[in-house]
Structure 1
Amino acid sequence: MTDIDESGIENVRNLRRNTVIAALLGLVAVLLPAPAMADKGTVDQVSRTASLNIYPPAAGASATYTNVITVALDLVAGEHRHLRGRLETVSSTTGVVAFNAAIWCTPSTDLTDEIGNRAVSSRNHEGSDASYAETGHLPLLVDKLFTAPYTGRFICSLNGLTASSSITGYHLGVVTGGKTYLQTSSDNQVGAGAWESLPCASQGNSQAGSQCTFLGTGGKSDVFVFYNDGSTVKKWAYGPGVTKVQAYANVLVTTCYKSTASCDGVPESDRLARTANSYSAVQFRLDVIQLGTDNSHACYTPPATTVTNNVRDDAHHFTAFMNTTVDVDPNCGQYFIMRVYVKLLSGSPIKIDGVQNTSSLTNGIMLNL
């Protein structure tokens, strides 16, 4: 049985054995040539070099984030910076535990005063023996577009969090060696645009104002996030003289297996039992569409790749990271729209997560190149 708190954290009842491994062994800054993130201009990268462990909360306490990397930005009012974090951890247990990565920014004068919503990625860490690309090593990426509300210095940080409802005495060790870092575009990303998905409570739609999208229940199997999911369609204008634009989308989905507390509104009869190998197969595709000169219909729809991911019930959450570079068609109009096609192919229903309090779990960014 599982539940999620309002930051997207999963408190997981362990289905696996426990063991202990050693934690991995400040910070180093480098300048990366464009297009490390395909941003306009160069990209600064600060990597974690000192050892750091992320611990769960004490019994009865709420989970809190551990700061991993911090950068200071001196900006003029209205300037945009694209931040991308990569947080890779190994676990000291083979059990399944929650793992979040988050980016937020504050004034330098008050580090508790977060500006706008924090960007969050979430996935359960499935243990020190989990079959990831490198055994036991789970990386999470997270993107945020920060816009300075006034002229001044701002502090932006990459942070990590873990929790479990059944396992104690464990930790997640932050992996160094260039695998955990925070990137920041050096130049103002003039005219950049940002998208957030709808409000979606951690438990589902039982909370007032929650507008989660569920696939695999009620006869609904697919949706376009940011487009026909109840969102107001956003039209983004590219800059004068721009010939290419870059789009990023991070879409977080949650599997709705039997007895999970994450999916109020999905009947138990529509859910499958969670097993050691159960998963939901989900397709994702990022569409970036240039509108016509009347700004009301599609003029140019570039080819886009559809990717299928098997979202394991042990992982429970999965963030699809997508990006594409698109040529501007001079014969079309001034505006683009972004949408992400999501389709459930098999397995238990899924929930598409959005904004939970001040945590934004599904986001989009468009930049002029």
Structure 2
Amino acid sequence: MGTMTNRVIRRTFIAGLGMLLGILWSVPAHAADMAVADAGSVTRGTLAVDTDIPRGVTVDLVRRTIALGAGEKRHLRARLEATSTTTGIVGLTQRIRCLNASGSTVSVVAASARNHEGSDTTTYATPGHLPLYADLLFTAPTAGTYTCVLQGTAYSSLPGSYHLTAVANNTWLETDDTDQTGARWWQNPACESDDSTGACTYVGDGAARRDAWVFYDDGTPVYKWQAHPDAVSVSAQANLELTTCYQATASCAGAMQVYPRGENAVVDTRFEFIQLDATGHTCRTHSATARRTITDDAHHAVGYSSLTGIPIDSSCGTRTFLLRLYVKHVSGQTVKIDGVQSGTTSLTNGIAFNNFR
């Protein structure tokens, strides 16, 4: 009886969460843990002790301070693993934020999130343990010392007393030890949590498009990236955040809310990294595909794609590449492609890297 009551409460309150961010699409643990495209060594700082994340509070979990020259680049990758003291749903957001010597946030903040679906949840790799990942390519605007922080925030409209806990050792922040020379960051346009202005890109039924190209036809300026002259190969990755638009959600424009909650959504994605020829047309296409299911209980979802060790084909006549991500609606709810919130927080983003060995 208690379990059933908790499930009813869980479903009752999820619609009112008004989450900023989303749920992690599953990836193999070994793949998720790797800094898949970094040139050179990385340093990982881990959370030393289990740390509570109370509702409505942002907690600094892992910090690293680094001295950088103007224009130096670092790839940061974070993992936050959390448990919960309640069987109800509690939103969890992780952010990678870099601060200058005066404590001000510098450039973009990378984030990802998921509802922690309860201490009794068995759908995670370790029951009750929710892992989240995020990536940031940080470029120092000026020479100086910067402190990059992994933060966790819990939020929910559930009543009562409860909290999430970041798990020691399995929560970490990883940072390059050397400059990611020539690396490039992509992010898609502004898309606020409630999308009250209708600025976001949607794929699905009703008024939505059937498909979209992220970083290509979603309002993002198309950028043609030049691989470094000394690179022996290149790599790329992308994090794509989607939100299901069930009726009465606070996370989508009203015109995009076609079906009642419980319909769920299925989308196909194709991540492409294209080497162009001298005329600006396709010479070699490298791609990775996936079918994603986002449940309405999850409501938000972030999926990770990567392409590593791509040879640079000299016969193409250029070292120019185009990065883009195709999203096609298959069935169920219309989905929103989440973008930049509050001017600085990036939910959907990509990175291209040079490999020098």
Q: Same fold (TM over 0.5)?
A: yes
Q: Is the 8 A contact 1:37 1:43 kept in 2?
A: no
SS in 2 for 1:368: strand
Question: Structure 2 counterpart of 1:367, which letter?
Answer: F
Q: Which residue of 1 aligns with 2:9?
A: none
Q: Aligned pair 1:42/2:37, yes or no?
A: no
Selected match of 2:276 from 278, 291, 295: 291
1:219 and 1:262 mapped to 2: Cα distance? 15
Q: Aligned pair 1:300/2:257, yes or no?
A: no
**TM-score calculated relative to the size of structure 1:** 0.84
Selected match of 1:313 from 296, 299, 322: 296
C-alpha change, 1:173 and 1:3, in structure 2 (3 Å) is closer
**TM-score calculated relative to the size of structure 2:** 0.87
Q: Is the 8 A contact 2:22 2:112 kept in 1?
A: no
Q: Is the 8 A contact 1:213 1:351 kept in 2?
A: yes
User: Displacement, 1:246?
Assistant: 1.2
Q: Is the 8 A contact 2:45 2:173 kept in 1?
A: yes
Q: Which residue of 1 aligns with 2:175?
A: 184
Question: Structure 2 counterpart of 1:329, which letter?
Answer: D
User: Displacement, 1:171?
Assistant: 0.8
1:285 and 1:48 mapped to 2: Cα distance? 34
Q: Is the 8 A contact 2:97 2:105 kept in 1?
A: yes
Question: Structure 2 counterpart of 1:365, which letter?
Answer: I
SS in 2 for 1:228: coil
Q: Which residue of 1 aligns with 2:16?
A: 2
- 1:30-85 deviation line (CA, Å, top 9, x unaligned): xxxxx74331010111111211011112xxxxxx4211100001111110000000
Q: Which residue of 2 aligns with 1:334?
A: 319
Q: Which residue of 1 aligns with 2:137?
A: 145
Q: Aligned pair 1:366/2:352, yes or no?
A: yes
User: Displacement, 1:267?
Assistant: 4.3
1:198 and 1:38 mapped to 2: Cα distance? 24
SS in 2 for 1:301: strand
Unaligned runs of 5+ in 2: 1-14, 24-33
Q: Is the 8 A contact 2:76 2:137 kept in 1?
A: yes
User: Displacement, 1:121?
Assistant: 0.5
2:268 and 2:290 mapped to 1: Cα distance? 6
Q: Is the 8 A contact 2:37 2:353 kept in 1?
A: no
C-alpha change, 1:128 and 1:78, in structure 2 (3 Å) is same
Q: Aligned pair 1:223/2:191, yes or no?
A: no
SS in 2 for 1:266: helix
C-alpha change, 1:298 and 1:167, in structure 2 (3 Å) is farther
- 1:319-359 deviation line (CA, Å, top 9, x unaligned): 11111112211122121111111122111110000001121
Q: Which residue of 2 aligns with 1:52?
A: 51
SS in 2 for 1:124: strand
2:17 and 2:334 mapped to 1: Cα distance? 16
Question: Structure 2 counterpart of 1:56, which letter?
Answer: R
Question: Structure 1 counterpart of 2:52, which letter?
Answer: N
- 1:6-48 deviation line (CA, Å, top 9, x unaligned): x4489xxxxxxxxxxxxxxxxxxxxxxxx74331010111111
Q: How big is the alpha-carbon RMSD for the aligned residues of Structure 1 and Structure 2?
A: 1.7
User: Displacement, 1:192?
Assistant: 0.7
Selected match of 1:100 from 88, 93, 117: 93
Q: Aligned pair 1:171/2:186, yes or no?
A: no
C-alpha change, 1:76 and 1:314, in structure 2 (3 Å) is same
Q: Is the 8 A contact 1:2 1:262 kept in 2?
A: no
1:38 and 1:231 mapped to 2: Cα distance? 23
User: Displacement, 1:259?
Assistant: 0.8
C-alpha change, 1:329 and 1:265, in structure 2 (3 Å) is farther
1:129 and 1:284 mapped to 2: Cα distance? 31
Q: Which residue of 2 aligns with 1:244?
A: 233
User: Displacement, 1:305?
Assistant: 2.7
1:89 and 1:310 mapped to 2: Cα distance? 22
Q: Which residue of 2 aligns with 1:83?
A: 76
Q: Which residue of 2 aligns with 1:196?
A: 187
2:177 and 2:51 mapped to 1: Cα distance? 27
C-alpha change, 1:253 and 1:290, in structure 2 (3 Å) is same
Whose helix fraction is larger, Structure 1's or Structure 2's? 2
Question: Structure 1 counterpart of 2:199, which letter?
Answer: Q
User: Displacement, 1:168?
Assistant: 3.5
Unaligned runs of 5+ in 1: 11-34, 58-63
Q: Is the 8 A contact 2:288 2:305 kept in 1?
A: no
Aligned pairs, how many? Answer: 326
Which consecutive aligned stretches of 4+ in structure 1 deviate over 2 angstroms post-superposition? 1-5, 7-10, 35-38, 265-268
Q: Is the 8 A contact 2:66 2:146 kept in 1?
A: yes
Q: Aligned pair 1:211/2:199, yes or no?
A: yes
Q: Which residue of 1 aligns with 2:261?
A: 274
Q: Is the 8 A contact 1:222 1:344 kept in 2?
A: yes
Q: Is the 8 A contact 2:96 2:149 kept in 1?
A: yes
1:87 and 1:266 mapped to 2: Cα distance? 35
User: Displacement, 1:265?
Assistant: 4.2
**1:337-352 equivalent positions in 2, closer than 5 A:** 337-352=322-337
